[in-house]
Amino acid sequence: MHITISSLEHIHEAARQFIDAMGDHKIFAFYGKMGAGKTTFIKAICEQLGVTDVINSPTFAIVNEYLDSNGYPIYHFDFYRIKKPAEVLDIGFEDYISSNNLCFMEWPELIGNFLPEETVKVKIEEQDDGSRLVYTDD
């Protein structure tokens, strides 16, 4: 998967492309530098999936739950404030990822080996022209 977000005006189009490429996958780990646009892109994906709640980074709560247009939960994690990878067990991480609901994770590199094998690793990189490249290695 390779998607270019040329500007914020085109982010919902990019989110739609991402959704079309998700297939049956449910767990997505988003990697990128601070300010790369991880939260903004996840917000656009959620909006395209019909979420009407306020969507923001769960930096302090660690996980936010939204409902899509069909009433299914979407879990949005932000592990930026995790001090030790094992802290994810305290929030019930295993229950979330085994729920068969969509899980979008920011800063997954901070939770060590707790990512399940089926996790799709998504990278977001800012380009010299200000656009963003969203891609997976497969």
Question: What's the pLDDT at 42?
Answer: 97
DSSP H helix total and E strand total for the chain: 4, 7
- 138 pLDDT above the threshold of 80: no
Question: What's the pLDDT at 61?
Answer: 85
Alpha carbon distance 112, 81 (integer Å): 14
- 35 pLDDT above the threshold of 80: yes
Question: What's the pLDDT at 56?
Answer: 83
* Phi, then psi, of 64 in degrees rounded to 5: -115, 145
100, 26 contact by CB (below 8 A): yes
Interval 37-90: pLDDT, tens? 999 999 999 999 999 988 888 877 899 999 999 999 999 999 999 999 999 999
Which tokens belong to 8?
Answer: 């914020």
* pTM for the whole structure: 0.95
Per the structure, the count of domains in the chain is: 1
* Phi, then psi, of 88 in degrees rounded to 5: -65, -25
Question: What's the pLDDT at 65?
Answer: 96
Give the CATH number of the domain where residue 117 resides.
Answer: 3.40.50.300
pLDDT band, residue 107 (cuts 50/70/90) = very high
Question: What's the pLDDT at 49?
Answer: 98
Alpha carbon distance 46, 76 (integer Å): 9
CA atoms within 13 A on the CB side of 130: 6
- 111 pLDDT above the threshold of 90: yes
Question: What's the pLDDT at 98?
Answer: 96
Range of the domain at 93: 2-135
Question: What's the pLDDT at 57?
Answer: 83
Question: What's the pLDDT at 34?
Answer: 94
Evaluate the CA torsion angle 46, 49, 54, 60 in order and state its sign. negative
Question: What's the pLDDT at 4?
Answer: 95
